[in-house]
Structure formats: C-alpha cells, structure tokens
Structure 1
Amino acid sequence: MLQRPAAGAIAGLSPTPEQLGKRARRAWLLFAGVALAIIAAALYGAGLYGRAVEVDALAAQGRTDANLKVALLRAVLENPRALPLLLSEDQQVHDALTARTNAAIDVLNRKLEGLVSGTKASVLYVTGTDGLAVASSNWREPTSFVGNDYGFRAYFSRAMQTGTAEYFALGNVSKRPGLYISRRVGSASAPLGVVVVKMEFDQLEADWHEANRPAYVSDEHGVVLITSVPSWRFMTTAPLAGASLAEIRDSQQFGDAPLVPLP
C-alpha cells in the first residue's frame, strides 16, 4: 500500500518565508552591486573622456597662444635686426673706426643716441677689432659702454668670424638680460670693427604676464631667456650636462645664475 508523505516532510521541502526573504535580499544586493559597478565604470569612462576632451582643447589653445607669441616676438625683433646691417655700411661708423678722432667719435655717439630713441633697441654701440667699444648710444650715462672690452663676448667673436651673430646674455655692465645682434664692419679680410644692438624684452614680458598664462622662450641648451614669470629666468627645462654647463660658465653668458631646472 502507498503511504502518504507526512505533512512535516512536505513542509520541509518548501522554502519558508524567511528563506524567501533572504534569497530576495541576496538577489537585490547582487543587482545593486552590479548596477553600482556599471555606474562607476560609466562615470570613470565619462571622466576620462571629458578629461581627454579638455586636454585636447587646452593643447589647441596653447598652440594658438604660442603661435601668436612667436609672431609678436618676430615683430619686436624685425626693426632692431636691420640696424646693425644699416650701420655696418654707414659712413660715419667707418669714419669713427678708421680716424678715431674725437670729432668723428662724438658725431657717431650722437647718431647712435638718436637712433636708439626711435627704435625698440636698448643700446647701440660700435667696437673696434680689439673688442673695445668706441662709441655707444648711452655715452652720456654713468653706465656708458664706451671704453669697455667686449672681445670675450661670443657675439663679437662670431661677428668677426662669420659677419653676423645673435647671442642672448646678461649684460656685464648693466646686469640686465638681453639679445645682442651684431654685424661686422668691413670685409673678412679687412675688418674695421663690429656694430652691436642690444634688445631687452621688459614690455613683451609684461604683456605676456597680463595674459595670466606662463610663457617662456628657451635656447638650444634649454635655458629660459624670456619669460612672463621673472623667477624662471635662466632656469632650465632639463638638467644641464657637464660640458654644456662648463661652456656657459666659462662664457659668463648668464653671470652667476644657478641654472637649475624649472619647478
């Protein structure tokens, strides 16, 4: 005869309300965990995408700013770069370098003084073949360049050798940084001296500073020359190697600047 299962046995096979509640809670917790993981992944992906978009926009804006600054710098340099060429062929420059009379030098001093006041140049001066300054636009000032020896400067030696030179350095008399643009007077076989124009960039740096975007110009060694952040001047974009550092120190190009890397 078949026996009917006991009521207790049937009840043991069916989940109780408490067990059903636990299973539901576990299912909801699992669902919530998966949902949170998906949301977190979506937010992280959106953050990465947004960051990439912002970085690309900043990079594009940075390139535009850099191009504008390059154009402005070229415009600032255009007129002063023409001065050494014109003066190297000027008769009064030739007269002062050949005759070396007080009258000829006085005429040249006054000519240079008048020229510098009408340009963006800081100083104009003329040296002999020995590097001694014969005449200068600042001849009236206590810091006059007249009589100073610039024979050790690279802009003098390079101009004597190749005809022209450009060299950024700290002034050994003025202690002010600037770009020296020089040109030989006379031929390579019969030189008479060198014409030098010094450019300073105070106004340009002030204009850059007002833009509230740090900017700088560096040389081939990575030394910062022109900058909207004054404390960055003569710092470097990377540590200098021993040979490069020794060469710069020997030339006195940047005085006793520490030449440490940018922050």
Structure 2
Amino acid sequence: MRNPASPLVPRHVAIIMDGNNRWAKKRGLNAAAGHRAGVEVIRSLLKHTKSRGIEVVTLFAFSSENWQRPTLEVQALMRLFSSYLDSETKQLHADGVRVRFIGNREQFSAGLRKQMDYSEQLTRFNKETTLVIAVDYGGQWDIVQAAKGLATQVEQGALSVDDIDVELFDRFVALTELPRPDLCIRTAGEQRISNFLLWQLAYSELYFAECLWPDFDEAEMDRAIEAFAARDRRYGGRDGDEDASHQH
C-alpha cells in the first residue's frame, strides 16, 4: 500500500517499454529474445514499485499499431504473452496484485482471451497493488470508444448533449476507477508518447530514460521517482498553486 510518509512518490506510474528489439540486435539475437528479456524485467520491477509505495503500474505491452509488425514477431509476442499469464498469474495473486487489461481484445485468440479473463477474475479482490496491462490499446481508440459510449447514451435518451463535460467523458475512458498516472516513463531514449493513454496523461510528468527496456532496473526506476519528486506540479496553475481538481 501507499507509504503516507512519501508524498512525492507517484501513486500511478505508466511505462512505455521500448527498446527490446534494439537490445536483441545489439547482442545478435532475434526479436523474440529481446521481448523475453523485457518480460523478465517486469517481475523485479513490480516488487520494487510495491516497496516504494506505488499503487498502480500500467504497462504498454502491445499497441494497436503493433499488429503491423512482421507476422513471426507478432506470433512470438502472442506466445510470450500467453506464457507470461500462465506462469505469473498465480504468483501475482499470491503477492496481492490485482491484474487489469485495457484495450480491444477482439483480435486475440479465444485461448488468450480466456487467460486474460482468468487473471482478472482470480485477482479482482486484491488490494496491495494494481497491474494494468495495455494490449491492442491505443489512446485514440480509447477516446473513440468513450465517444461512442456517450453517443449511445444520448441516442437512448439517458443523457443530453449538454450533460457531456470533461468529468463525464472521463468516466467512459479506460482506467476511470483508478488514479490518473502521475508519471509516464519511456525507455530507449525516445521522447514521444506514441498514442498511449492520450486522455489520461493530460497532467502526467514525463520521464525519458536512455536505457533500453531490458536494462531498466531498480536504480533506473529510483532515478525516475527522484526526478518526479523534484518537479513542481502546478496543473496549469501559478507557481506554488496546486489545483486538487485535477488529482483523481
């Protein structure tokens, strides 16, 4: 649970795990080896973030655009995802981690969807930390889904157009019941958010790590947390102001 003595530790950290392919290429390995190395990081990362008092970790595991990668790489990613759920779900449950998935599940195999459902159901009452895995997810897709949901409500007469505001729209996007990400980390030196949580990152601090994702360790996470703690989060207000209305 969150450590009340550490108010400068983010409650929710979102991570764009970039650099698996480059890591593998530097070592003369195939892409699948890089992705496997990237998965290994997650286990130690979750233990460390829990020890630091971080409540929610959201990982950008597979974007809507990743389907465009070479077929063999996509197939390897799907096998790895399935293997991760098979090997880790019970341990995550034992560690008190609640697992959530966000994104469009329709293109995944029936078996993989069943594994995702099982992970969510098994861990749904856990309260130690929450692990959100974004798969076949895109921020633009998320916003469109919210718009469709609101349009349906208007069409059915449950809402009027004038009822729609930022707070109402917020209830229709992914992660609505969780605190918004305080910190978004991207590895591999890239400085963009690549269609990740576009709505939810509106007031998040951004941190860009130079290391490739398989090399992201506890020390790198601590550096990101220290950088976050040093920032003055004004939420659009003046120096010294803190607009609590933006804190979910």
TM tier, smaller: under 0.3
TM-score, reference length from structure 2: 0.27
Structure with larger Rg: 1
Q: TM-score, normalised by structure 1?
A: 0.26
Which fold has the larger relative contact order, with Cα–Cα distance below 8 Å and residues 6 or more apart in sequence?
Answer: 2
Structure (1 or 2) with the greater helix fraction: 1
